[in-house]
Amino acid sequence: MKIWYGFGSEHSSNLVMIGRFKEARYAKEAKEIIDRLIEEVRADPEAYSWDAIPPDRRYSNPMHELLSASRIYNVGPTELEQLNYDVDVVVKGNEVVVTTDEIEVSAFLKILLDKGARVEVYSAHVYPDTEYGRGK
C-alpha cells in the first residue's frame, strides 16, 4: 500500500474565508466589488490566466479602471486568475463568506482587507464543526 504525502491541484482544500466588517453595508459593498471583478475576469478568462500575462503587461484598461474605481490597490495581475475559480461568495449580515476548494485565494483576501475586513481563513476539513464549508 502506498501512502500519499504530497499535495497538488487535485487536492480539495475546502477553504473558508470570512471577512467581518464593522457594518453590514461594508460587507455588501465588498461583495459587489468581488462580483464586478469576477464578471470582468470571466468575460475573457484567457486574458487573465497566469500564462497569458506577459512580464511587461499589468492590467487591461477595463480592469485597471474597475480596480481604480473600486479602490482596490493590492491585487496583482497574476492573482486575477483566482477570480475565475469555482468559488462561492455570500453576504451574511456584516460578513462576506468565501468558500472554495482552491488554496490560491490571495486576491479575495486582499480585496476583503482593502475594504476594511478582519479576515479568518481555515480549512473546513480540519474544522468540520464550524458553520461554513462547501455543501453546508
Instruction: Output the pLDDT for position 52.
Output: 60
Q: Into how many domains does the chain fold?
A: 1
* Three-class secondary structure of residue 89 per DSSP: strand
- Domain hosting 99: range is 15-123
Domain-located, residue 2: no
Domain-located, residue 78: yes
Instruction: Output the pLDDT for position 135.
Output: 52
Separation between Cα atoms, residue 28 and residue 32, nearest integer Å: 6
Domain-located, residue 55: yes
Domain-located, residue 47: yes
pLDDT in tens, the chain (136 residues): 444 444 454 557 889 999 999 999 999 999 999 999 999 998 887 777 766 656 556 777 888 899 999 999 899 888 888 999 999 999 999 999 999 999 999 999 999 999 999 999 999 988 888 887 655 5
Closest Cα partner for 41 from 87, 74, 10, 73? 87
Separation between Cα atoms, residue 74 and residue 109, nearest integer Å: 10
Instruction: Output the pLDDT for position 4.
Output: 43
Domain-located, residue 133: no
Cβ pair 22, 116 in contact under 8 A: yes
